[in-house]
């Protein structure tokens, strides 16, 4: 009898748990007794939700493919679909900084400052190589 490994857990359980924790943390009761939302908390919640949605979109196709594989079906690891799912999974690392840059002005300014310093250092290196 052949034993199969268990399929990896779906990321949706993690997303649901973290979403609930963010809601509890950022929704607060105002002194008048009515429910209110602080602006920074709301912005953080929306950003976290965008990151979680990006995670789900990037990882779900690969997870489905792995569930199919663990269910006993043959998965062609050279197929275009497999390679697409791997690229989508890796693209999650690229998407997160874009989300932060879209939501936070300070993040955008920090990236610009870093890139300008790198550009300045590169120009100084080129000038010193010429002289």
- The rounded distance, in Å, linking the Cα atoms of 1 and 31 is 64
- The model's pTM is 0.56
Q: Dihedral, CA atoms, 75, 80, 82, 83, nearest 10 degrees? A: 150
Q: Which of 25, 95, 89 is nearest to 58 (CA)?
A: 89
Q: For 16-20, 65-69, 86-90, 103-107, which range has the lowest pLDDT when averaged over its residues? A: 16-20
Map out the domains of the chain as residue ranges. Answer: 12-130
Q: Is the pLDDT of residue 87 over 90?
A: yes
Residue 89 vs residue 32, higher pLDDT = 89
**Fold annotation for 12-130:** Rhopdopsin 7-helix transmembrane proteins (1.20.1070)
The confidence band for 16, taking pLDDT boundaries of 50, 70 and 90, is: low
Mean pLDDT of 90-103: 87
Residue 29 vs residue 15, higher pLDDT = 15
- The rounded distance, in Å, linking the Cα atoms of 110 and 122 is 18
Instruction: Encode pLDDT of 39-51 as tens digits.
Output: 777 788 888 899 9
Q: Please state, rounded to an integer, the average pLDDT across all residues of the chain.
A: 75
Mean pLDDT of 57-80: 89
């Amino acid at each position: 009898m052949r034993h199969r490994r268990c399929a990896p857990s779906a990321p949706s359980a993690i997303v649901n748990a973290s979403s609930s924790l963010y809601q509890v943390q950022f929704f607060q009761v105002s002194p008048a007794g009515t429910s209110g939302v602080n602006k920074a908390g709301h912005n953080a919640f929306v950003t976290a939700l965008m990151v979680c949605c990006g995670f789900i979109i990037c990882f779900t196709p690969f997870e489905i493919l792995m569930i199919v594989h663990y269910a006993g079906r043959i998965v062609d690891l050279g197929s275009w679909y497999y390679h697409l799912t791997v690229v989508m999974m890796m693209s999650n690392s690229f998407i997160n900084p874009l989300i932060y840059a879209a939501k936070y002005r300070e993040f955008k300014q920090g990236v610009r400052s870093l890139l300008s310093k790198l550009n300045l250092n590169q120009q100084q290196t080129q000038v010193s190589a010429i002289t």
